[in-house]
Chain A
Amino acid sequence: MKIAKKVIDLPPSGIRKYFDIASTIKDVISLGVGEPDFITPWRVREASIYGLEKGRTTYTSNWGLLELRELISKYTYEGMGVDYDPNDEVLVTTGVSEGIDLAVRAITDPGDEILVVEPSYVSYKPCIIMAGGVPVPVATTEENEFKVRREDIEAKITPRTIAIIMNYPNNPTGAIMTRKDLEEVADVAVEHGLMILSDEVYEKLTYDGRHVSIASLNGMRDSTILLNGFSKAFAMTGWRLGYACGNSDVIEAMMKIHQYTMLCAPITAQVGAIEALKNGQKDMLEMVKEYDRRRRVIVRGFNAMGMHCFEPRGAFYSFPSIKFTGLSSEEFSERLLYEQGVVTVPGSVFGEPGIGHLRCSYCASMEDIKEALSRIGRFLDGLKKEEKAPRIRGRARRR
């Protein structure tokens, strides 16, 4: 059977590999998945069940239910200060994942280059390749708090560059960008006529200060595609519901692709999302408060055992450095999994700047986080002993 070369060449997601290994080991604690351990707030589930009972089982408009788009528009205006017309500037998508794909496909011609701010979520580069574009990594560093700077971007711009894709609060580092930081990026974008694809799915998970969207900066509204969704803030990962906001030209272009591929997002999820936006703020704030508590515990825990940990100010990931151990990210992750039963994701899967780091999500329960920290501590002690004893090579024993 013939498979397209660009698909064959796509590497499998680096996260999935560890997930698969973990499922074969007993008594595993997972800091690997970026999925809230909370179940979707009951009011949201109940609203969807009620909708089903009342026969809400049909297609919706390609754009999504108008009531939902109006609420998204209001939510975005109140939360970020950007005003979008619910009629043709808001598109309801099947998760932010579809939104990213649509945005990239809507703007990319073969050979166009899109700058990807790294460390980055794993799907951006494949999406760009699938759309016929060329992903160009822009590295950020821990010294600069994983923020992307003007000079980093400028160094990578060529006549083929059409856009920058970025994700703040960031997965995997937890970095955020302040208004001032974003202004630098906005300036470059304006100067070079670049679009910004801004994945802001973690916008509600900001622990220090308020999230600022680049779309809200002067002159940026029409050159930004703002991507957001319900998965993270409302613990609605499996509902697959997101949205894209932007200038009507680009949103209509995205809608065109959406119309011929997805047609519309599932109505049951849309009904739930309406309830989430109308009445789910309190549930969401409770979850954010709990993540913040876990964040403090995990960061303090890593630092206490000498794993220098960048302070995440958003999302629900910590990104400690393991460079001092001399192990590669992959080796550390794999051995930690086999020897202590803790799942983490090697930072290297998020791009070159992630090398020497681990991504540890703190959307595990507090009890699991504490247990994971003590197991990681034991693992580090084991490494110290190995240094003293002659090193035995080979794969570690399974638990």
Chain B
Amino acid sequence: MGKSKNKERPTGKSMREVLELLEKDSRLTAREIAEQTGLSEKDVERFIKEMEARGIIKRYKAIIDWEKYGDDSVYAIIEVQLNPERNVGYDAVAERISKFPEVVTCMLVSGDHDLHLVIKGRTMKEVAFFVAEKIAPLSQVTHTATHFMLRSYKQEGEIMFEKEEDSRLVIHP
């Protein structure tokens, strides 16, 4: 049995795996990804470049537990009810709101409100004033409800509390 130099041919499935690996850890190098997927390093590099160019990989980001670092930023979930506008529906106002840097997340949702926002600020007062001055006065906005976040347990798929430790014995008797 000789060593095969042929790497697996890229398929849609294996390429998807590249994206999944990067989503979990964006610091993986093309070589590491190639080793884990069996693809060639060149294919991985080419694929990543293409995904970046097409805007499918938007950017590389770290998830940081700021609270643990000592930063006491305040987050709030804002439920917004809207009157949709003619021709553009909810898009125009949602896009306008999304552009504020304070708005971390903006989603159109089903249920008893229309937009689900996550707002970041330094203090509760800052968040409350932002909502009162920038969101509530917009003519399409009919109602807002603010819920301050008290603790985050999971963020972007990442558990934010201490993970359970491996309690297995080092060597099984």
A residues at B contact (CB < 8 Å): 41-43, 45-46, 49-50, 53, 282-283
Contact = CB atoms under 8 A, between A and B. Distances in A.
Interface in B87-120: 96, 99-101
Contacts of A50: 137
B151 interface: no
Given A42-B99, A283-B101, 15 more contacts: A41-B101, A42-B100, A42-B101, A43-B100, A43-B101, A43-B134, A45-B99, A46-B96, A46-B99, A46-B100, A46-B134, A49-B96, A50-B137, A53-B139, A282-B101
17 contacts: A41-B101, A42-B99, A42-B100, A42-B101, A43-B100, A43-B101, A43-B134, A45-B99, A46-B96, A46-B99, A46-B100, A46-B134, A49-B96, A50-B137, A53-B139, A282-B101, A283-B101
Nearest to B130: A279
A43 B96 CA distance: 10
Contacts of A42: 99-101
A309 B100 CA distance: 38
Of A45, A46, A53, A283, most buried by chain B (CB within 10 Å of CB) is A46
A283 B134 CA distance: 16
Contacts of B100: 42-43, 46
A45 B139 CA distance: 17
Interface in B55-98: 96
Contacts of A41: 101
The residue among A42, A49, A283 with the most chain B CB atoms within 10 A of its own CB is A42
Contacts of B139: 53
A11 B99 CA distance: 43
Contacts of A49: 96
Contacts of A45: 99
Nearest to A43: B100
Nearest to B99: A42
B123 to A, nearest CB: 13
Complex A-B, nearest 4 residue pairs according to Cβ-Cβ distance, in ascending order: A42-B99, A42-B100, A43-B100, A46-B96
A282 B101 CA distance: 10
A248 to B, nearest CB: 34
Contacts of B137: 50
A41 B99 CA distance: 9
A283 B101 CA distance: 9
Contacts of B134: 43, 46
A41 B102 CA distance: 12
Nearest to B103: A42
A53 B137 CA distance: 12
Contacts of A282: 101
Interface string B6-38: 000000000000000000000000000000000
Contacts of A46: 96, 99-100, 134
A46 B95 CA distance: 11
A159 B140 CA distance: 65
Nearest to A47: B134
Nearest to A41: B101
Nearest to B96: A46
A49 B139 CA distance: 13
A153 to B, nearest CB: 44
B127 to A, nearest CB: 13
A299 B99 CA distance: 33
Contacts of B96: 46, 49
A49 B138 CA distance: 11
Nearest to A53: B139
Nearest to B102: A43
A42 B100 CA distance: 6
A53 B99 CA distance: 18
A53 B101 CA distance: 22
Interface string B31-48: 000000000000000000
B88 to A, nearest CB: 15
Contacts of B99: 42, 45-46
A311 B101 CA distance: 32
Nearest to B139: A53
A45 B101 CA distance: 13
A394 to B, nearest CB: 38
Contacts of B101: 41-43, 282-283
A43 B137 CA distance: 14
Nearest to B97: A46
A41 B96 CA distance: 13
Nearest to A283: B101
Nearest to A45: B99
A45 B100 CA distance: 10
A53 B92 CA distance: 14
A303 B139 CA distance: 55
A20 B96 CA distance: 35
